[in-house]
Amino acid sequence: MVKFYRRIEDFPRLRNVIATIGIFDGVHSGHRRIIERMREVAKERGGETVLVTFNPHPKSVLHKDHKYLKYIHSRSRKIDLLARTGIDYVIEIPFSKAFAQTPAREFIQSFMVQKVGVSHIVVGYDYRFGKGQEGTYEGLLAMGKEWGFSVEQLSAVTVSDIIVSSTAIRSALHEGNVQLANTLLGYEYSLFGEIIYGKQLGRTIGFPTANIEVPNKLKLIAANGVYACRILWKGQKLIGMGNIGFRPTVNGNHRTIEVNIFDFSQEIYGDYLTVYFVQRIRDEKKFQDLDALKVQLEEDQEVVREILKQCKVSPFKA
């Protein structure tokens, strides 16, 4: 079981640490390749794996245009996903403007060498760190020779000629391309939240919906539209179609997330569920009336059932 530390000062210095350093938003397939390599080296050397990360995201602290940067996952979900990778330790360093002034050499010497006990560092293809991102792979190699640790850099992980990155995944989600986002993540993008009362108009046309309130306001919500979804509720695996948007047919004035769960009739207000987004099937649009909307939803349901019938569940779930 992973051991988690929020203060690097509390970490019990180890003798043979295989480490990596980064944000790891999304814990995507590129991140997991780094962690897999760490575990391979740790097994070879009889060491332990340590992942050093930061919260909040440095961009949201340092750049005004990223002040409200949305995260692929909440902090708690990120830690949960990291725990599933088999990592031994996670150290989450509080990131601030003051911490951002730490030079690359000072961070490596004071934190990674003296407090963590690093013997080997694995980094990704585009790794930069330290004040002004002055630290590079080449710089790490020089520091390793000076302070007695080795370094290796992994090449980029690509999918369909696209380099896997958190930025690419955010871009795909903003466009509603959850299929691409899921491919880059290596599992299905999801939202978790409480089921709250809505206007209950869906049930009047035979399509009742669970309205979901996502607790984390910095969670990245995919683009508006209608989606084929899987749902997890109290351990039950269900299917349905979700809608993200403003419900223009009923003159909605705020963005909502709702899901119509197929073959399901229980009252679940106040419960929590997770919705996994498989594929976006169409844009949200305004219909002439509820009857016209009902006709479209009947067509949507057939499309979604066929998509989910043919789509395999990802083995690494969010």
Superfamily grouping for domain 163-310: Riboflavin kinase-like (2.40.30.30)
- pLDDT score at 317: 52
Integer angstrom CA distances of residue 8 from 24, 76, 119, 177, 302: 18, 19, 17, 38, 52
- How does pLDDT run across 19-37, given as a tens digit for each residue? 999 999 999 999 999 999 9
What is the C-alpha separation between 263 and 268, in angstroms, rounded?
14
Ranges of CATH 3.40.50.620 domains, the chain: 3-156
The mean pLDDT value for 153-162 works out to 94
Q: Where in the chain is the domain with CATH 2.40.30.30?
A: 163-310
Is 70 exceeded by the pLDDT of residue 162?
A: yes
Mean pLDDT in the chain? 91
pLDDT exceeds 80 at position 188: yes
- Residue 277 pairs with which residues in a beta bridge? 229
pLDDT of 13 reads 93
Q: Is the pLDDT of residue 174 over 90?
A: yes
- pLDDT at position 318, please? 44
- What is the per-residue pLDDT across 224-282, written as a single tens digit (0 to 9) for each? 999 999 999 999 999 999 999 987 677 667 899 999 999 999 999 999 999 999 999 99
Superfamily of domain 3-156: HUPs (3.40.50.620)
Model pTM?
0.91
String of DSSP letters for 22-81:
S--TT--HHHHHHHHHHHHHHHHHT-EEEEEEEES-HHHHH-GGGTTPPBSS-HHHHHHH
The bridge status of strand 48-55 relative to strand 89-94 is parallel
